[in-house]
A = this chain, B = another copy of it.
Amino acid sequence: MEKSEISTLNKVVRGAKRALYEREIAYDIIDSHMICHVAYVYEGYAISIPTGYGRSGDMLYLHGSLKNRMLLGILEADKVSVTITHLDGLVLARSVFHHSVNYRSAMVFGKPRVVEDPDEKMKALEVITENFIQGRWQEARTPNDKEFRSTLVIGVSIDQFSAKVRAEGVNDELSDMELDIWAGVVPIHGMYGQPIPEKDLNSAIEAPDSVRNLRKQAPL
C-alpha cells in the first residue's frame, strides 16, 4: 500500500505503536464517517470545528456559505489539518490506569484551495452529499444557480496523513491479573433510527432507495 510521507507534522508520537501511514487504511477511516473536525487559527487561537466532508481520489472536499469563518480561515494557511474519529468501544482494564477506548482516527494534512471550476465544484457537492447518504444525489433536486453560487467549496489535497487505530482487548499489568475485577471491552456502534417523514410530506411518497439502503449499522 502507498504510504504517506512522514514529517514532524504527521508523525504520531503519542501511542506511536498504533500509528499507520498506509493510504488505504486512512481512506477507509475517512470514507466510513461523515463529520470531521477542521482545525484553524483564529486571532492566534487554534479552534476545531465539526463539519461534513466527502473524499474523491486524493482530494477531501469541505463546503459552506461564502462567509463561513472556518473555511475562510483555513484558506489563509498553506496546510490545513482535518481529523476524523470513530469511537468503537470502552476498554475496561483491571486498573484505572490501563482503561482506554478502541477507536479509529485519521488525520489529513493538505493544501486548501477554493474549488472554482464549476464541474469540479458540482462534483464535490455530489461527493459530499453521497458521503452522507449514498444515492441521494440522484433523488433530490440538485443545486440551482443561486444555491451553487452561494456555496463555497474547498478542496484539500491529501498530501500527508496518518491513522491511529486501537482495536484490541485489555492490556493489564501482569501483577493485576489475579485481582477480582471484571475486565473486558464494551463495543460502541452507531445505529440509524426509523426514518421520520416530514409532516407535510405527501403520504404517497415512500422512502427512497437511499434511505432504505442505509446500512442497519451507522459507521461511526
Contacts and interface: CB of A to CB of B under 8 A. Distances in A.
Contact of A192 (B34, B46, B144, B187): B187
B42 A92 contact: no
A113 interface: no
A195 B184 contact: yes
A1 interface: no
A141 B193 CA distance: 38
A188 B182 contact: no
Copies of this protein, total: 2
Contacts of A201: 182-184
Given A95-B147, A192-B187, A199-B169, A105 B182 contact: no
Interface residues of A, number: 101
Interface string A115-148: 0000000000100010011001101111110010
20 contacts: A34-B101, A35-B101, A45-B80, A48-B81, A90-B132, A90-B133, A95-B142, A97-B147, A140-B181, A181-B208, A182-B201, A184-B197, A184-B198, A185-B196, A186-B211, A187-B192, A187-B193, A188-B218, A189-B193, A220-B220
Given A46-B46, A48-B48, A95-B140, 5 more contacts: A34-B87, A93-B140, A97-B144, A99-B136, A189-B191
